[in-house]
Amino acid sequence: MIKNIGFCTKCGSENIVKNGHNVSGQQQYLCKDCKARRVLDSEKRYPKERKEEIIRAYFERTGLRGLERIFHVSRHTVTEWLKKNERKIACDRRNTYQSKE
Ligand SMILES: [Zn+2]
């Protein structure tokens, strides 16, 4: 049983199955509804608002395991987001603290 692997980026269907790997070794999926065959990455699987919400929750000391339970998001995915957003987050947090003082 395959579950929680995301949804088709073309038609939005969750009726997708794993379908081999592309040349760079990324997992590809086949949509059973529209027959689209593509790579789903974490950026597309989670809308921007959702992602920001999860990152905010992380900084409320929810912890990666807590995030997994609450948002059903892989902690590896969150770790990747944090790495990519490190500078922006650091800047945002500084601004938040300043505005509180
Ligand atoms: Zn589709």
Q: What pLDDT, on a 0 to 100 scale, did the predictor assign at position 1?
A: 43
Q: Give the closest residue to 42 by CA, choosing from 89, 71, 10, 74.
A: 74
What's the gap in Å between 2 CA and the centre of ligand 1?
A: 16
**Is residue 89 very low, low, confident or very high in pLDDT (cuts 50, 70, 90)?**
low
Q: What is the mean pLDDT of the chain?
A: 79
pLDDT at 90 over 50: yes
Could you tell me which residues are beta bridge partners of residue 27? Answer: 21
User: Cα(82)–Cα(80) distance, rounded to whole angstroms?
Assistant: 5
Least confident of 19-28, 65-74, 82-91: 82-91
Q: What percent of the chain is modeled with pLDDT above 90?
A: 10
User: What integer pLDDT is reported at residue 2 of this predicted model?
Assistant: 45
Q: Where are the alpha helices (DSSP H) in 25-101?
A: 42-45, 48-57, 64-71, 75-100
Counting residues of the chain whose pLDDT is more than 70, the rounded percentage is 79
Neighbours of ion ligand 1 (CB under 5 A): 8, 10-11, 13, 31, 33-34, 36
How far is the centre of ligand 1, averaged over its atoms, from the C-alpha of 33 (Å)? 5
Domain ranges of the chain: 1-40, 45-100
Q: Rounded to the nearest whole angstrom, what is the distance from the C-alpha of residue 93 to the centroid of ligand 1?
A: 38
